[in-house]
Structure 1
Amino acid sequence: MNFEEAARRIHLGRSIAFFGAGFSRDAKNHQGRSLADAADLALELSQAAGEEEELPLRLAAQIYESRKCEPGIRNLIREFYRAAEVSTGQLHIASLPWAQIYTTNYDDVIEECRRREGTSVNSVTVLDRPRDLAGYTNIAHLHGYVERISDADWESAFALTDRQYAADILTHSGWPERFRSDAAYADAIFFFGYSLSDLDIARLLYRDPSLRAKTFFVIGESAGRATELTVEPYGTVVPRNIEDVATIFPVADAAEAARPTPFLASLVEQELAVAESAPTREQVTDFLVKGQVESKLIIRDLVNGSHDYYVAREAISEATRLLDAGPMRVLFHSRLGEGKTTALIEFEHYCLAEGRRVLVFNGDPDGLPHDVNYLASLGSADQQKIVVIFEHCFSFSRQIKHLLERFPLLSVILTTRSGALQTRIGDLNEAFGDDFRIFDIDGIGDQEAPEFDDILYANGLWGPRQGDRTEERLRYIERECKSNLATLLVHVCRSSDLFERIKREFVGLDKQPPDIKRSVLAALSAAHSGVKLNVAQLCEVVQSDLFKYGANQANEIVREFVDFAHQQVSVRSPAFAQAVLQDVVPDHVILEHVPGLLVRLDRLRENSAAYDDLFKGLMRFGFIENIITNPDKERKLVAYFEAIRASGVGLNNPQFWLQYAIACMSFEDYRNAADHFATAFGLASRRGGYDPYQIENHYAKFLLRSRLNSNYWDDYFDAFAKANDILQRQVRNFQEGFYPYRVASNYLDYVEAHHSKFSADQLERVADWCAQILAVSESAPPAVRRSIYWSRARKTLQAARDIISEVQPRARRIPAA
């Protein structure tokens, strides 16, 4: 795409503009001086400060301000950088329908042009959070803005004096990441009036070949060779003046202007494609060991009724009964590694076979406004045929709710981890409505187990169990793996010849650039957390652009761990990631690198919700506990959470202190756990609107387990009463929740251990508490009543009542529930 073609596409509204100092050169301030003439301003500041020679602008401004020259520098900036006259070319270019506008200019030339043309003006600085401004065309002043030059903004949002440049405000603002994200999705990127002083801005793009082809630098006819050579690696150089290139951009009603049409940006349409031949052993191994899914092979098995590659899931078969029942509202959930993603492909196949269109959300909410426009352009009959799929649904509940309200005829399919559902199921109705059917994909069903065994046996993936009888292998799946697919796949990973090669190749990463090893660890950690990253996001997390180049993506050692397809990072198997992190990556490497990733993610998520799930995932106790090995596991767990605390990331985060408390409870360090719970409650109380549901639930468990497994406290009844008060409140206020029932299962152990320490009245109260939870449990929703936690709690609560009945005096026996 050349410059002229890119300019013709401007009215599609998908291009971004960056305005440098040269763009403002033809504008005049109220004193009739050019706004871009920094040399004039530098000379004026130098002379006023009593310097004998002219200093660079940033040094001149620093000395002028420090010597308290009059007028004050802020007043001088206001006088110098307010536009009174603008040129025709500036007026036209600034008022074009840009998707986003960025500038390092302090002046208001862009705003003045857009106001005169009646175009929207929404000016922001680095003090504004990018994630709060999604959906608007923003004019982002990266070095400060003349109309927002207050005492606060001067020190924290301006880059003029040497001191302000040294503070590097922009780097920590979130706007560089937003700029790169906008650039990735833009049709074209135009730099107007670029100069050598803007070199750091060009570097924000990295030297990405995919961006270079659509980036254009308008540097002016008089720009020197140095400027041309500087920008050439980042895009096409256009040595023409603003007034000249303005004529190339068509007006809105021009015949040559490309017309905007609705399009899909964040929703990706799926196709029905069947593999022509059976899978090879290598394809099966890559699927089961590394999670590299070939959907065509899944479809082949479904069409042929075979299981050479994939085992059809019983829950999906049940869900397909809804296909003829109007707009579907379905939520699939499972634990990590139980096959939600591949089960979705199975469900997509049945939808496509029924003549529906399937659109899958790619995880980037910034493009959804375009998708809404596209869906709105369709008639009701076409909308009824569309199935929209959102994975990790609770991360995008606001967007999903808006879509459901706007387009009730669409079928919407959601997925989430069972752990997230257990935590958030109380919010399910509020987030998505009360008509969702919930399907559990956890576990290997009785009909599925022999088919999984067939695939493993046929491809020699059983390792040392390959020679066992079929009955023994099926017994292993049921008893040793507890019919858990993720556990079975971890076993498969460790038994495969491919995994032995991976152990050797990991050592080879030490000979690669350090950023490559860090990137591989980040990708594996994300996969183990159940989070998918695209290439741009991975580069942001590790602060390196190495994987934006084909050579590094094709690196044979790297591809043993990470695959790249369509700019996506593919370490899709949590089982593979867990096995590698646990068996291959030394613990000290994890402890050294992962806390640093959390520090980076904490800053990234301030500006983009796309990083929230990975941040939370890496902070969870379950993440680190599953990959840190014995011996000395307790010390390593403490070291992990201490590293996070020392980084400052967790200091004001109630969830961090909760996870630290859970870690302490895991090795029965209840005294430190008590301190961490107190910190978590204290921080939660100072956050407006923060729901301490999870903290309270785990604290109830702490109260019970700490009095069972230690002698540090002797308040046995009072602790029980506090725990019960929390659970009674939760089963009533959060009737959909699993968590209170899981903790209530501890009542039996507690009664067995401590009933002799309770008075008769106290025993009666405990029996009554058990009866109350049993009564409330009867009205729990079906999704809760189907859970093992609900049935186990009811059994143990009744058993606790039976014990109390036996130990109470005969005249005061507790009646049966």
Structure 2
Amino acid sequence: MATAVTPSQEAICNYPWKEIYTTNYDNVVEICLAKLGRQHSVYTPLKRPADVDYETLPIIHINGYMQTASFIEFKKEIKLTDAQYFSDDFSRSAWGERFRNDIVTSPCIIFAGYSLYDLDIARILNTFEGMKERIFFVVKENPSRSLVRKLSQFGTILDIGVIGFSKIVSEISLDKVEPKRNYLSAWEQTAIPNSRGRPLRDIDVINFLMSGSLDENQFAIDTIENIYGYTINRESSDYVSDSISSGKLKNALIYSNAGNGKSTFLDSVAYKLAARNFQVFKATSNSSLLLKEFPIIRNISGNIALVVDDVFSHIDLVKAAMALGRDNIYIVASARTSQIELQESEIRKSFNDSVELFSLDSLSDGEIVSCIEFLDKYALWGARQVMKFEQKKAFIKNDCSRELRFVILEALDSPTIRSRIQQILDFKGAPEARDRVRAVLILSQLLNMAQVRSDLTLISELVQFDARLAISDHSASLRDFSLIRNGQISIRSSIFSDYVIKNSLKRHSLLLR
């Protein structure tokens, strides 16, 4: 353990950093901060990211901290052996998830005296595209060629050493540093569009049905003005938005099987409430980061609606919202039917029994009529286009069991959409390159179906090639139906995911080495 520190180390620690991650076990940072009179808190892998308190500067020891490691927990907390370094514990842990979020949301990330020998950190940095301009590596003067080659993959190299870096930091006038401003990165506020934009086209509807890809402005206008050209209106969405607006409903939980419209329902309610002067915030990240930013939302005045998809992944968030006791904070959440069947009592308890449940697994008679009119309008019945109205009605009731997902699967199999799917999935390049893209795509969806995070790092390990590199040349085509964010890849539409997997596996084999 350190007993003294250098002036350069003190100067670096004197800057008002948002947080400090360190792979060192020693107490150099802590001694510097103590000498400077700066309050700080120490965190190790054995603690939870949710425990981080931003009232003091967080110091996060990735490989453990000698000073607090107990004899019993020493082996678990302190990473010393090669076997520990080459394992993937950190990148797959809750702290690794937090580190990913911090990388994505921070305007500047500086690595001081770090060579990426720790494969965990390298894996995480290699997950993201477009990060190089925000990442800087401070290394000693005249670094080796191999180090330059390694680090230049991830960011800009500053060969100025710790002393040179401390001089730069010392020259920054803290009086000119802008005061800390609260901003949301894990929550996305739903905004009402200022203009109508272009008219809705048939291809827009086809892209939405096929892959969940839509123009947010068009969808917002379509929903707010009750046009419903993009999709049919689920009757309970009007009930939920009306009841919340009038104060008759506090919280709503929407549940259904995959593909029956949960996400679209949430988006629809979000725009309807935003149009009624609610401040609507959609959860877009993991619970630890959402909770980290929750104090910002808590301090916003007026009516607030929190939209939370996959509520069973965010139970702590629900409990935190309920604990506030504010009458003007409402929650509209979603879950799968299977989760509700197994854990309904648990989720009701999280909401303090002040939640109403709505199922989307069965289309009402009125919604069936809307479905028929919708598919007729865009000629999406395929071979059933010539059927009479009553026959189509019976088909949805009986053959589709009143489930929207089976109706959409029927539309996906229509010639119009089938040709569009074929066009998108016709990846260019050598046969091996095309097979690699398909392997990444199919495996990501199999992981999603198994409710395992489809991390590109994990996929790379399973397929034994660089998944991010494999899909990089096809980003434009993949953007039509998939979402690549925070180092993960997912198809926006669960129905389209099922369709792609079934049709791809008929023609291709997936080889996991």
If the length of structure 1 is used for normalisation, what is the TM-score?
0.54
For 2:349 and 2:319, the matched residues in 1 are separated by: 9
| Matched letter for residue 459 of structure 1 | Y
Alignment partner for residue 289 of structure 1, among 199, 202, 210? Answer: 210
**Is the contact made by 2:309 and 2:335 (CA closer than 8 Å) also made in structure 1?**
yes
1:320 aligns with 2:320: no
| Matched letter for residue 323 of structure 2 | E
Deviations 1:629-665 (A, max 9, x none): xxxxxxxxxxxxxxxxxxxxxxxxxxxxxxxxxxxxx
Alignment partner for residue 380 of structure 2, among 432, 440, 461? Answer: 461
**Is the contact made by 1:207 and 1:234 (CA closer than 8 Å) also made in structure 2?**
no
| Matched letter for residue 271 of structure 2 | H
For 1:283 and 1:527, the matched residues in 2 are separated by: 26
Alignment correspondent of 1:140:
61
Alignment partner for residue 552 of structure 1, among 470, 473, 483? Answer: 473
The 3-state SS of whatever aligns with 1:388 is strand
Query: In the TM superposition, what are the counterparts of 1:274-673 in structure 2 within 5 Å?
Result: 275-322=196-243, 323-325=245-247, 328-378=250-300, 382=301, 384-406=302-324, 408=326, 409-499=328-418, 502=421, 511-512=432-433, 516-525=437-446, 528=449, 538-543=455-460, 546-547=467-468, 551-556=472-477, 558=478, 562-564=482-484, 569=489, 571-586=491-506, 589=509
Query: In the TM superposition, what are the counterparts of 1:86-101 in structure 2 within 5 Å?
Result: 86-94=5-13, 96-101=15-20
**Is the contact made by 2:363 and 2:402 (CA closer than 8 Å) also made in structure 1?**
yes
How far 1:520 sits from its partner (Å)? 0.5
For 1:513 and 1:133, the matched residues in 2 are separated by: 44
Alignment partner for residue 190 of structure 2, among 246, 258, 270? Answer: 270
Larger radius of gyration: 1
For 2:448 and 2:366, the matched residues in 1 are separated by: 28
For 1:456 and 1:251, the matched residues in 2 are separated by: 65
Identity percentage of aligned residues: 20
Q: In the superposition, relative to structure 1, how do residues 123 and 589 fare at CA in structure 2: closer, same or farther (>3 Å)?
A: same
Moved over 6 A (4+): 250-253, 565-568
For 2:226 and 2:23, the matched residues in 1 are separated by: 61
Q: In the superposition, relative to structure 1, how do residues 527 and 286 fare at CA in structure 2: closer, same or farther (>3 Å)?
A: farther
For 1:377 and 1:469, the matched residues in 2 are separated by: 56
How far 1:151 sits from its partner (Å)? 8.5
**Is the contact made by 1:330 and 1:413 (CA closer than 8 Å) also made in structure 2?**
yes
How far 1:260 sits from its partner (Å)? 0.8
For 2:230 and 2:124, the matched residues in 1 are separated by: 43
| Matched letter for residue 540 of structure 1 | T
The 3-state SS of whatever aligns with 1:404 is helix
For 2:115 and 2:209, the matched residues in 1 are separated by: 52
**Is the contact made by 2:483 and 2:489 (CA closer than 8 Å) also made in structure 1?**
yes
Q: Aligned pairs, how many?
A: 497
How far 1:401 sits from its partner (Å)? 1.0
For 1:120 and 1:144, the matched residues in 2 are separated by: 14
Deviations 1:63-86 (A, max 9, x none): xxxxxxxxxxxxxxxxxxx21221
Deviations 1:608-637 (A, max 9, x none): xxxxxxxxxxxxxxxxxxxxxxxxxxxxxx
Q: In the superposition, relative to structure 1, how do residues 144 and 567 fare at CA in structure 2: closer, same or farther (>3 Å)?
A: closer
RMSD, aligned α-carbons: 3.7
Deviations 1:256-309 (A, max 9, x none): 112112221311101123653443222211212222233433333334543432
For 2:495 and 2:115, the matched residues in 1 are separated by: 50
The 3-state SS of whatever aligns with 1:415 is strand
Deviations 1:101-134 (A, max 9, x none): 3334343322322333343241525xx3665755
The 3-state SS of whatever aligns with 1:312 is coil
| Matched letter for residue 291 of structure 1 | G
Alignment correspondent of 1:59:
none
Alignment correspondent of 2:108:
188
If the length of structure 2 is used for normalisation, what is the TM-score?
0.83
| Matched letter for residue 217 of structure 2 | K
Alignment correspondent of 1:34:
none
Which range is displaced more, 403-412 or 296-305?
Answer: 296-305
For 1:254 and 1:246, the matched residues in 2 are separated by: 14
Query: In the TM superposition, what are the counterparts of 1:116-155 in structure 2 within 5 Å?
Result: 116-118=35-37, 119-124=39-44, 128=46, 137-142=58-63, 145=66, 148=69, 153=74
**Is the contact made by 1:135 and 1:366 (CA closer than 8 Å) also made in structure 2?**
no
Q: In the superposition, relative to structure 1, how do residues 130 and 234 fare at CA in structure 2: closer, same or farther (>3 Å)?
A: farther
**Is the contact made by 2:241 and 2:269 (CA closer than 8 Å) also made in structure 1?**
yes
| Matched letter for residue 390 of structure 1 | V
**Is the contact made by 2:266 and 2:333 (CA closer than 8 Å) also made in structure 1?**
no
The 3-state SS of whatever aligns with 1:358 is strand
**Is the contact made by 1:333 and 1:418 (CA closer than 8 Å) also made in structure 2?**
yes
For 1:494 and 1:129, the matched residues in 2 are separated by: 50
For 2:127 and 2:473, the matched residues in 1 are separated by: 14
For 1:470 and 1:584, the matched residues in 2 are separated by: 33
Q: Decide which structure has greater helix share.
A: 1
Where structure 2 has 5 or more consecutive residues not aligned to the other structure, the ranges are: none
For 1:154 and 1:424, the matched residues in 2 are separated by: 36
**Is the contact made by 1:486 and 1:575 (CA closer than 8 Å) also made in structure 2?**
yes
For 1:566 and 1:123, the matched residues in 2 are separated by: 23
The 3-state SS of whatever aligns with 1:256 is coil
For 1:395 and 1:407, the matched residues in 2 are separated by: 22
For 1:197 and 1:428, the matched residues in 2 are separated by: 43
For 1:130 and 1:332, the matched residues in 2 are separated by: 30
1:238 aligns with 2:168: no
The 3-state SS of whatever aligns with 2:44 is strand
Query: In the TM superposition, what are the counterparts of 1:46-65 in structure 2 within 5 Å?
Result: none
| Matched letter for residue 576 of structure 1 | F
The 3-state SS of whatever aligns with 1:394 is helix
| Matched letter for residue 257 of structure 2 | R
Q: In the superposition, relative to structure 1, how do residues 542 and 500 fare at CA in structure 2: closer, same or farther (>3 Å)?
A: same
For 1:444 and 1:328, the matched residues in 2 are separated by: 25
For 1:566 and 1:275, the matched residues in 2 are separated by: 31
Q: In the superposition, relative to structure 1, how do residues 477 and 297 fare at CA in structure 2: closer, same or farther (>3 Å)?
A: farther
**Is the contact made by 1:307 and 1:451 (CA closer than 8 Å) also made in structure 2?**
no
The 3-state SS of whatever aligns with 2:110 is strand
**Is the contact made by 1:518 and 1:542 (CA closer than 8 Å) also made in structure 2?**
no
The 3-state SS of whatever aligns with 1:311 is coil
**Is the contact made by 2:128 and 2:487 (CA closer than 8 Å) also made in structure 1?**
no
For 1:532 and 1:202, the matched residues in 2 are separated by: 22
| Matched letter for residue 229 of structure 2 | D
**Is the contact made by 2:255 and 2:337 (CA closer than 8 Å) also made in structure 1?**
yes
